[in-house]
């Protein structure tokens, strides 16, 4: 049934801004992004919002709805009551550009700091042979749509701007886990995860997993396994001894 909903949308830019109230009509089956578009069409042609697919697959429309990081195109209006005010703000972990659009280049910077897939020397791309069981685990991580909601919700940087240089964030821990679990990767990702990407700052409180629209088990399947691998390489005296005896580096390929 169509009704007039109360919306509160953050309007502004780097110099400041405010939550602004609107009344806007809602039809059956709509999502928050539809309402934002209706606002643009009927009341606020200059409202800035980033979007592309409207299908939860491009990761562009990330914002916060009633204080929770979410994709605007995947948040259904029928999850709110008709008399509820729906508050929409930009991501609160990254610098704002205008209205609902933020500058997420922090994430591109962090992505560049991870060495790409490093196959054994002399092995050419056409010669990779591996079995399904060996790649299965990391396939979950390839579902990532880079919406950066997990990065936005992570309190390590959300609540502590000063941690940004030292911390890559959950999206990049799954990237490192994916590569470290790859049967042909040879880079030293365990030590890097701790020393260069700050996985030790994560206290596994699981908010990243809670908001991931692809339902990737970020904490259980990527961060905790990586923390265990880091412990193998750095904090386990028995593994260290075992590796010494066998003439390897702790945490080497098995």
Partner 1 sequence: MSTTEKPAASNDGTGVFSPGRARISAKTLRVDNWWVQPTITFIILLSFVIYSTWRAFANADYFSMPYLSPFYSPCLADSCPPGSQDFGSWIGSWYAWSPALIILIFPLGFRMTCYYYRKAYYRSFWMSPPACAVAEPHKKYSGETKFPLILENVHRYFFYAALVFNVVLTWDAIASFRNPQGEWGHAGLGTLFLVGNATLLWLYSLSCHSCRHAVGGRLKHFSNHPVRYKWWTMVSKLNTRHMLFAWLSLFGVAFTDFYIYLVASGAITDPRFF
The 71-90 contact track toward ligand FES, x by CB under 6 A, reads: x-x-----------------
* Site map (CB under 6 A) of ligand SF4, residues 154-173, x = contact: xxx-------------xx--
Bridge partners, residue 69, by sequence: 64
Q: Quote the least distance from Cβ 77 to partner 1, whole Å.
A: 16
The verdict on 157 binding ligand FES (CB under 6 A) reads: no
> Given candidates 228, 241, 244, 249, which one binds partner 1 under the rule CB under 8 A?
228
d(CA 50, CA 42): 18
Q: Which of ligand SF4, ligand FES, partner 1, none has residue 192 at its interface (CB below 5 to 8 Å by kind)?
A: none
Q: Which residues contact 25 (CB under 8 A, 6 or more apart)?
A: 2, 3, 4, 5, 38
Binders of ligand SF4 among residues 212 to 241 (CB under 6 A) are: 212-214, 216, 218-219, 223
- The interface mask with ligand FES, positions 15-54, x = CB under 6 A, is ------------------------------------xxxx
Contacted entry of ligand SF4, partner 1, ligand FES, none for residue 144, CB cut-off 5 to 8 Å set by kind = ligand SF4
Task: Let me know: does 100 contact 47? Beta carbons within 8 Å.
Answer: yes
Distance CA(111)–CA(109), nearest Å, equals: 5
The binder of partner 1 chosen from 28, 46, 83, 161 (CB under 8 A): 161
For the record, the structure tokens of 225 come out as: 């396994």
In the region spanning residues 50 to 89, those forming contacts with partner 1, defined by CB under 8 A, are: 64, 66-69, 84, 87, 89
Q: Which is nearer to partner 1, 70 or 144 (CB)?
A: 70
Which of 32, 79, 83 lies closest to 56, judged by CA?
32
d(CA 33, CA 52) in angstroms, rounded, equals 11
- Count of residues engaged in binding ligand FES, rule: CB under 6 A: 12
Report phi then psi at 3, rounded to 5. Answer: -155, 165
- Rounded to whole angstroms, how far apart are CA atoms 86 and 84? 6
Instruction: Give the residue from 115, 17, 15, 27 showing the smallest Cα distance to 5.
Output: 27
Those residues whose C-beta lies under 8 Å from the C-beta of residue 100, and which sit 6 or more positions away, are 9, 10, 36, 47, 48, 49, 50, 63, 72, 88, 89, 90
Name every residue whose Cβ is closer than 8 Å to that of residue 116 and which is 6 or more positions away in sequence.
none
Report what 123 binds from ligand SF4, partner 1, ligand FES, none; CB cut-off 5-8 Å by kind: none
Judged by CB under 6 A, which stretch of 4-12, 47-55, 76-84, 204-212 contacts ligand SF4? 204-212
Q: Which residues bind ligand SF4 (CB under 6 A)?
A: 144-150, 153-156, 170-171, 174, 202-208, 211-214, 216, 218-219, 223
Residues forming the site for ligand FES (CB under 6 A): 51-54, 56-61, 71, 73
């Amino acid at each position: 049934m169509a009704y007039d909903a109360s919306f509160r949308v953050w309007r502004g830019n780097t110099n400041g801004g405010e939550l602004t109230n609107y009344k806007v009509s809602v039809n059956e089956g709509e999502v928050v992004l539809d309402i934002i578009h209706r606002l643009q069409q009927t009341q606020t042609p200059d409202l800035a919002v980033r979007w592309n697919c409207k299908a939860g697959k491009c990761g562009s429309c990330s914002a916060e709805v009633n204080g929770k990081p979410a994709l605007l195109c995947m948040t259904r209006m029928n999850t709110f009551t008709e008399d509820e005010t729906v508050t929409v703000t930009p991501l609160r972990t990254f610098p704002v550009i205008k209205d609902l659009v933020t500058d997420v280049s922090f994430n591109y910077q962090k992505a560049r700091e991870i060495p790409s897939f490093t196959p054994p020397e002399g092995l050419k791309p056409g010669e990779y042979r591996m079995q399904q069981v060996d790649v299965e685990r990391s396939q979950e991580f390839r579902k990532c749509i880079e919406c950066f909601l997990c990065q936005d919700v992570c309190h390590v940087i959300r609540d502590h701007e000063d941690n940004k240089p030292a911390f890559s964030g959950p999206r990049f821990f799954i990237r490192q886990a994916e590569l470290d679990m790859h049967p042909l990767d040879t880079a030293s990702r365990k030590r890097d995860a701790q020393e260069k990407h700050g996985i030790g700052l994560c206290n596994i409180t699981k908010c990243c997993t809670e908001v991931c629209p692809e339902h990737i088990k970020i904490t259980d399947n990527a961060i905790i396994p990586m923390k265990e691998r880091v412990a193998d390489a750095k904090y386990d005296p028995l593994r260290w001894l075992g590796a010494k005896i066998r003439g390897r580096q702790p945490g080497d390929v098995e």
